[in-house]
Every structure is written in C-alpha cells, then in structure tokens.
C-alpha cells in the first residue's frame, strides 16, 4: 500500500485494515438488507424500503470505514471523512436508484453503479487528495462492486426457489452478504487512498 509516511505505527497495516473495514461494512449490509429480507410491513414499497435501506448504510457505513482511514491518517481528517461519507453515499444510492427506475434491468444497474461510484469518489476528492488516480480508483471499485453484485444476484435467484423453511429471507440476506463484500471492499479501497490535503507528501 502506498502511504505518505511510515511514521505511524498503524500505517503499515492499512492492507489488513481494508479487509477489516470491508467486513464491518458487510455486517452493516446484512442489517440493511434484513429490512427487505423479513418483509417489514410498514416498509413495503420501493419508495419506503429503498430510503430505509440507504439510511442504515449511511449511518453504519461511515463508522465501518474508520479502521482503514485511521490506519493512514490517525484522527486527522476523521470528522471531515464522516461528514463527506454521508452525502457521497447518497450520491451513489441516488444514481443507482435513478437509473434502476429508468431501465429496470442490468443496463440501469450498471449505469447507476458506475456513475454512482464515480460521483462518490469525486465527492471524497472535494475534501481529500488521493494516492491513486481517479480512473484506477473507479476501475477497481467498480470491478469489486459489480463482480459481487452479480454473485449476489445468482445466489439469490438460486435460493429463492428452494423449498426448505426460511429460504426466502435467506435468499435476500445472501444478496446483502455479497453486496456488502463488494461495496465494502470498494469503499475501503477508496478510503485507503484518502489523505488530508494539507498533509506532507
């Protein structure tokens, strides 16, 4: 992992912290998708369910990324990161939702996730500089996200037709699991590249 300095005892461990943050985000994802998995009556309908899922991601997602952020920056810029995470994730979720509503197919999913991730990364760049280029960050984040998204879709579709008890909720939670792995890894990789703009090279 590229770092600015190696004067922090945690900076050398940022690689491990990427996966810690990704795992924490995966837990957040499971909680979020449980709102769909267990068919909560007052959240039925896309106009209620999607915003509720996004709120869980926004509130839980930002703290889940702190291990990898702190590995390189300590507490410097931590509050700014938290404050930027929330609107950045709203940009991603809003783009995905918009294009999904336009197409309702893989075209909408791909356009929404690609442009949403691009917007998320650019939003972070408002407050931080990055140790990796924008095209590299977007390419790796989009690859991780997309690969796991379609694994999630496949596993979900296999499980939802199973006949054992609880197959329905389990199929939906499996989507949350793999979405969490992909999005968590993408976010952690992007977060690992962030540095305060006034930090020394």
| Helix, strand or coil, per DSSP, at residue 31 | helix
CA distances from 65 to 48, 107, 112 (A): 26, 29, 22
The rounded Cα 96 to chain-centroid distance in angstroms is: 12
C-alpha distance from residue 17 to each of 20, 37, 83, 189, 199 (Å): 5, 29, 21, 10, 21
Query: Which SS3 state, helix, strand or coil, does residue 195 take?
Result: strand
Burial 44-61 (b: 16+ CB within 10 A, else e): eeeeebbeebbebbbebb
Report d(CA 21, CA 69) in Å as an integer.
Answer: 9
Q: Where residue 200 falls among pLDDT bands split at 50, 70, 90? A: low
Residues of the chain above pLDDT 70, percent: 92
Confidence of residue 189 (pLDDT cuts 50, 70, 90): very high
Q: For the whole model, what pTM was predicted?
A: 0.89
Q: What is the mean pLDDT of the chain?
A: 91
Instruction: Enter the tokens of residue 43.
Output: 């959240």
Q: What is the pLDDT of residues 57-102, one digit of tens each?
A: 999 999 999 999 999 999 999 999 999 999 999 999 999 999 999 9
**How many Cα neighbours within 13 Å face the side chain of 143?**
8
In the structure encoding, which two tokens stand for residue 148, read together? 């796991």
Contacts of 57 (CB under 8 A, 6+ apart): 28, 29, 32, 89, 93
List, for residues 9-38, the tens digit of each pLDDT value. Answer: 444 567 899 999 999 999 999 999 999 999
Token code pair at residue 1? 């992992």
């Amino acid at each position: 992992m590229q770092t600015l300095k190696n004067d922090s005892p945690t900076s050398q461990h940022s690689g491990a912290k990427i996966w810690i943050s990704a795992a924490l985000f995966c837990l957040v994802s499971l909680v979020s998708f449980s709102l769909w998995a267990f068919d909560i009556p007052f959240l039925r309908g896309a106009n209620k369910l999607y915003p509720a899922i996004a709120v869980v991601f926004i509130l839980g997602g930002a703290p889940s990324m702190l291990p990898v952020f702190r590995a390189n920056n300590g507490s410097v810029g931590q509050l700014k990161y938290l404050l930027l995470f929330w609107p950045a994730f709203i940009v991603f979720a809003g783009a995905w939702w918009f294009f999904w509503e336009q197409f309702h197919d893989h075209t909408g999913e791909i356009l929404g996730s690609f442009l949403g991730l691009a917007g998320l990364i650019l939003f972070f760049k408002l407050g931080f500089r990055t140790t990796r280029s924008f095209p590299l960050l977007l390419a790796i984040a989009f690859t991780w996200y997309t690969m796991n998204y379609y694994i999630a879709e496949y596993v979900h579709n296999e499980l939802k037709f199973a006949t054992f008890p609880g197959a329905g909720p389990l199929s939906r939670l499996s989507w949350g699991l793999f979405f969490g792995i992909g999005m968590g890894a993408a976010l952690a990789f992007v977060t690992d590249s962030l540095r305060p703009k006034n930090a020394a090279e």
